Amino acid sequence: MTSNAGDKGLLIVLSGPSGVGKGTVCSMLRKLAPELVYSVSATTRSPRAGETEGDNYFFTSKDKFRSMIEKDELLEWAEYVGNYYGTPRSFVRDTINAGKDIILEIEVQGAMKVKQKFPEGVFIFLMPPSLDELKNRIETRGTETDESIRNRLSVAVDEIRLLEHYDYAVVNDQVETACSRIRSIITAEHCKRERIMPYVNSWMEEVR
């Protein structure tokens, strides 16, 4: 989705509270903007049926994953149910250097870790229309107890307080509308003066 000659790609980090619809929005974005590269995570868990290397995940051993942590080769990582998950820095770097935009769908705490290591990314917070609507969406799943719903809403409030660390906020009232807003943000980011000036300066050098 790059728009300027010689322009590098962007890392777009999309996060928000559980139940806000990050996965649904990302799935729609991939259909509407197939040129967007979806960030592939590394994991130590075994592949599931139908999953392929480099498409769903980069499958690796725990020893290799720990080595990646020690060498600071991950933008963020976490351990969940005995397995590691993380975002390889090299995959992101190679993608944007090739002039392609890459989108990373991630939880809020992970996004804050990415921001520390890759502050030049574009950080978008996906908002629910209201806390009541977020509660309705979680309840609609039919997989949560009342206590779990209360806990998720409490965490969501804490996560929304981190909105000040993001560049943009997009309300997910309608999936198509949210996707349109995100695509507009990406286009605007590519048109920022500070992204274009290095190339303009190189042109000016040629005419001196």
Known binding-site residue numbers for ATP: 16-23
Q: Burial of 153 by CB count in 10 Å (0-12 exposed, 13-18 middle, 19+ buried)?
A: middle
Euclidean distance between CA atoms 153 and 131, whole angstroms: 8
Contacts of 49 (CB under 8 A, 6+ apart): none
Planar angle of CA 157, 162, 165, nearest 5 degrees: 160
How far is residue 182 from each of residues 76, 111, 134, 153, 167, measured CA to CA in Å? 23, 17, 20, 25, 12
Token digits for 34?
A: 């197939």
Q: Which residues are annotated as a binding site?
A: 16-23
